[in-house]
Amino acid sequence: MPITLPEDLPAYDILKSEGVMVMSPGRAAMQDIRPLRIGLLNLMPKKIQTENQFARLIGATPLQIDLSLIRMSDHESKNTAADHMASFYRPFSEVEASGERFDGLIVTGAPIEHLPFEEVTYWDELTRVFDWTQSHVHSTFGVCWGGMAMAWHFHGLPKHLLGGKAFGCFRHQNLAPASPFLRGFSDDVLIPVSRWTEVRQEDIDARPGLTTLLASDEVGPCLVEDPGHRALYIYNHLEYDSDTLKQEYDRDAALGAAIGVPVNYYPDDDPSCLPTNRWRSHAHLLYGNWINEIYQTTPFDLADLRLP
Percentage above 70 pLDDT, the chain: 94
pLDDT for 45 beyond 80:
yes
Q: Domains in the chain, ordered, with CATH?
A: 3-161+197-241+280-303 (3.40.50.880)
Mean local confidence (pLDDT), 8-26: 78
Mean local confidence (pLDDT), 153-173: 97
pLDDT for 73 beyond 70:
yes
Q: Which pLDDT does position 31 carry in this prediction?
A: 52
Q: Which pLDDT does position 32 carry in this prediction?
A: 52
Q: Which pLDDT does position 13 carry in this prediction?
A: 86
pLDDT for 30 beyond 70:
no
Mean local confidence (pLDDT), 258-263: 90
Q: Which pLDDT does position 207 carry in this prediction?
A: 96
Q: Which pLDDT does position 261 carry in this prediction?
A: 94
Catalytic positions, written as ranges: 144, 237, 239
pLDDT for 75 beyond 80:
no
At 175-191, the pLDDT tens digits run 999 999 999 999 999 99
Mean local confidence (pLDDT), 47-74: 93
At 262-274, the pLDDT tens digits run 999 999 999 999 9
Mean local confidence (pLDDT), 225-232: 97
At 81-96, the pLDDT tens digits run 888 989 999 999 999 9
Lowest mean pLDDT across 74-78, 83-87, 140-144: 74-78
pLDDT for 6 beyond 90:
no
pLDDT for 157 beyond 90:
yes
pLDDT classification of 27: cutoffs 50, 70, 90: low
Mean per-residue pLDDT over the chain, rounded: 91
In one-letter notation, the amino acid at residue 247 is: Q
Q: Which pLDDT does position 301 carry in this prediction?
A: 80
Mean local confidence (pLDDT), 278-292: 96
